[in-house]
Amino acid sequence: MIDGFGRKIDYLRISVTDRCNFRCHYCMPENQSFLPHGELLDYTEIALLAERFISHGIRKIRLTGGEPLVRRDMQILLAALGKHVHSGRLDELTLTTNGSLLSKFSPILSDAGVRRINVSLDSLDPQKFADITRGGKLDQVMEGIAAAKKHNIHIKINMVAMKGVNEDDLLPIAHMCADAGHDLAIIETMPLGSEVGGRENTYMPADVFIEPLRQISALTPIPHRTAGPSRYWLADALGLKIGMITPLSENFCDDCNRLRLTTDGKIYMCLGSEMNVDFKTALREQGVEAVDRLLQKALRLKPERHEFEKQMANPNSRLSRTMNATGG
């Protein structure tokens, strides 16, 4: 699949739920409302849409949320998508998670062919972690990470850069990752969710956030890439692979290869745009043939780039949907 700007689209992110057992400040308001269950795609519909996307050239799928592992009977969907990995039709099935349920799900993920996951972790201080997540338990997450490693699932830690919040946590997390053999990704905050406030005060360019790491190690650019937008460096002194996702300080839209399927069946062509195509309605009212037609419409609507910079500067222009509603 090629979009209107000549970019090859081979990566689909599927949000399987907007619900989460954490309430991270940068992701959703404290009193978040959630979609009724009847508005969500069921597992059969998700699997069918995934199959059609794979037929049109999608080679990598990432499951997101919310927290994907809180959805009931998640192992059913993992098994269905895992068949495409085992058959070779899908190069990669991955997951972004807060890690709290990995102790239970690690063997299930491994059986489905999941070989690497991203785990959100913004502090190794139990109290600060609880404050950021509004009640999350750090020990649960660390136990989950250890369980995933035992099942040979490679882990990348996602750390959101927040000025005045977790700057002092970078080096402890970097050392933990280096010692355990995990990768580390630093992510700038994004202005999604008009009710999620405070981003003007906590936004910090990733290049500034990692300055403490530069004080102890040279950072060498490396050509390593995954399906996502991270640009990678090697922290030589630690032997740590570190990626940076910089939607505001350094735009990376020129080689965007992604589409996003929301839990209510809409395809968003860009995380920073409201333009979408309603696949759920088409599937339920017209059948699978309509899905194939809408795929081409979605590609034509994909914008050249996001406008996060303008949205950060002007809160009134921000998108109303929160990160948990779209998937990261």
Binding residues: 13, 20, 24, 26-27, 62, 66, 96, 120, 156, 190, 253, 256, 258-260, 270
Q: Would you list which residues are annotated within the binding site for [4Fe-4S] cluster?
A: 20, 24, 27, 253, 256, 270
Length of the chain: 328
Q: Contact, 294 vs 53, CB < 8 A?
A: no
Known binding residues for S-adenosyl-L-methionine are 26, 66, 120, 190
Q: Which residues are annotated as a binding site for GTP?
A: 13, 62, 96, 156, 258-260
